[in-house]
Chains A and B, each alone.
Chain A
Amino acid sequence: MKSFFPVVTVVAAVLLIWIIAVVPMNMHLTADQAQRDGLAVSPDTPIARQDFSGLGLAVRNSHLIPLTYVNVRPRLPSPHQIAIELYDTVIDKKITSKRSLVYHGWVTLAPTLLGFAIGTLLGIMLAVGIVFSRVMDRSVMPWAIVSQTIPILALAPMIIVVMGAAGIQGILPKAVIAAYLSFFPVVVGMVKGLRSPEGMQLDLLRTYHSSNSQGFWKLRLPASTPYLFASLKIGISASLIGTIVAELPTGAKAGFGARMLVGDQYGQPILSWAALFAAAITAAALVGIIGMIERGTLRQMGMKPA
């Protein structure tokens, strides 16, 4: 709680900078529109106005400043425009409507969650294999680490189209990308976690004459829980980003990514920005939910986050 006021201050400062920036960013557009509506604008031709910066124009036409906040097609929408658009499309629209962001959100969320589940399961399995097999450790682990440095996310749209051409459609192609992106963080984190018990603890189990599998279920797996949650948080946001990027340039008809692109192409920037913020809120909610499960689970087990 002691970071509540600092966070509010920083957020307020960012909002303030944004609100101030709206004026110069939109001034040229607003001046053109004002002239068409018969208002006095100086200088009075669009070409002459090009010589001025947004700020300079704002100083000369201070009576137009309020109008920069109500542009229909702003370069930079003001926060309240986005808030209204979000309210309209999240709360006012029926969820079955094609214009409801809840509908688009589900289109993005379903493959994210499916892929995340698949990626996490496979990741845990591979990590178990790596910890118990020297060959797997030596041959697969270096590639798992190298694969983190490859900008694979940039290829997400291509993977979608290839799979579509091969007849695989629906949520599966996007889920594959989400799975791939959450897979490696889980592998790397779980290998670290399963190896976190110290020699002394392993020795104790050996004095109890416990088998390898008992050592796994009773020591290694519980010990890896904090590491698992740390990588789950990375994995879920990577999954969501992957799904959105996969939707962006592929001509997807629904989903946050499609919404951002449609707003951009049809000259409705407020729509893009609303989708961007909705995606951000979704990402924050997903990470927050995992964080809550983490806190609950670790408290039950009497552990601390990794």
Chain B
Amino acid sequence: MIYIVLGFAFWAAGWVLNVRLANGPSGDVRSVRIAIPLIFGLTILVVWEFFVLGFEINPVFLPRPSDIMIRMSQELPRLWADFVQTIIKGALTGYIIGGLAAFGVAILADRSEFLTRGVLPVGSFMAALPIVGIAPIFVKWFGSDWESKAAVVAVMVFFPILVNAVAGLRDTTAMQRDLMRTYGAGYWPTLFKLRLPAARPFIFNGLKIATTLALIGAIVAEFFGSPTVGMGFRISTSFGQLALDMVWAEIVVAALAGSACYGLVTLLERWMTFWHPSNR
């Protein structure tokens, strides 16, 4: 009972603190703007901890955040091995293959107005489909190691990157292209000096959508067959052993990896499209 009261008390305290901070005089200071969501997140964690204790929820259903953190610190080597297998070998390889393929097809399609008009609708149609359903088929084709995961990821990331790259390559004005022509620039100089740079904001948009898809593809594909290592494998087997704290530990790793990859692409975007209005 005391834990439930404590939980509510902490919730109220966190909320009051955030109201003060957000509406106070320093509400727009950078450090405060970062602090507010952190306080909110911390409040949720603490309330979760207290409520699990207070309502005596079986840890098989919902472990406490502290259990999860202890488990994470104990299982670091295994979590790292799973991370390397799933994220580096599966997701990253597939991401690079799919990205390069999409890029190549986009540049080829871009050479003809006819193809561009065909590729754009088909690509955006494909991007909305449940492509992850090919995972069982690909595991059968390419074996259960990381190759099949990379293949699933490559297909999943292909369409969003393709659509954005094709749309980006069209994003130059007639005036800009005419200027290049007055310089006597042919197809390749125009592509490298004008159209590819102009397409970067679009391409990065596609790359950002694709990061989350890549992780989803790599993890889900492991549910259908994998060596005895990998995040998807660990999630499903730990689940079978009712070791929910390990499942949550993997979830935390997946969440951190997802945000980190997204953040990395965003940083790269800032660096490479510093001239774009949205970054100035």
Interfacial residues, chain A to chain B (CB-CB below 8 A): 2-3, 5-11, 14, 75, 134-135, 137-143, 146, 148-151, 153-155, 157-158, 161-162, 165-166, 233, 237, 240-241, 244-245, 248-249, 256-257, 260-261, 264, 269, 272-273, 275-276, 279-280, 283-284, 287
Q: A10-B115, A162-B61, A233-B128 are in contact. List 20 more A-B contacts (CB 8 A).
A: A3-B120, A6-B119, A7-B118, A7-B121, A134-B22, A139-B18, A146-B259, A148-B212, A149-B211, A153-B216, A157-B223, A162-B62, A237-B129, A241-B130, A248-B220, A248-B223, A256-B133, A276-B130, A279-B129, A284-B129
* CB-CB under 8 A for A10 and B40, given A138-B22, A138-B33: no
Decide: A150 and B255 in contact? CB cutoff 8 A. yes
B224 near A151: Cβ-Cβ < 8 Å: no
Interface of A is mostly: helix
Q: A3-B121, A10-B118, A153-B216 are in contact. Are A158 and B235 (CB under 8 A)?
A: yes
Interface residues of B (CB under 8 A from A): 15, 18-19, 21-23, 27, 33, 36-37, 39-41, 60-62, 114-122, 125, 128-130, 132-137, 140-141, 211-212, 215-216, 219-220, 223-224, 232, 235-236, 239, 244, 247, 251, 254-255, 258-259, 261-263
**Are B258 and A149 in contact, CB atoms less than 8 angstroms apart?**
yes
Contact B215 A2 (CB under 8 A): no
How distant is the Cα of A279 from the Cα of B128 in the complex, in angstroms?
11
Known: A134-B23, A158-B247, A248-B223. A9 touches B40 (CB 8 A): no
- Chain B residues with Cβ below 8 Å from A279 are 129-130, 133
Q: Within 8 Å CB of B216, what residues of A?
A: 151, 153-154
What is the chain B residue whose CB lies nearest that of A233? B128
CA distance A118 to B22 in the complex (A): 30
Q: Are A260 and B258 neighbours in the complex by a CB distance under 8 Å?
A: no
The complex places the Cα of A92 from the Cα of B211 at a distance, in Å, of 41
Smallest Cβ distance from A53 to chain B, in angstroms? 15
Distance (whole angstroms) from the CB of B77 to the closest CB of chain A: 22
Contacts of B23 in A (CB 8 A): 134-135
A283 to B131, alpha carbons, bound, how many Å?
11
- The CA of A7 and the CA of B247, in the complex, are separated in Å by 44
A residues less than 8 Å from B122 (CB atoms): 7, 10-11, 14
- Known A-B contacts A10-B115, A138-B36, A279-B133; A154 and B219 likewise in contact (beta carbons under 8 Å): yes
- Alpha-carbon distance between A142 and B37 when the two chains are bound, in angstroms: 7
Bound form: Cα–Cα A158–B114 in Å: 45
Give the top 3 A-B pairs by smallest Cβ distance, nearest first: A6-B118, A154-B219, A10-B118
Contact yes or no, A276 B134, CB < 8 A: yes
**A residues near B116, Cβ cutoff 8 Å:** 6
A255 to chain B, nearest CB (A): 12
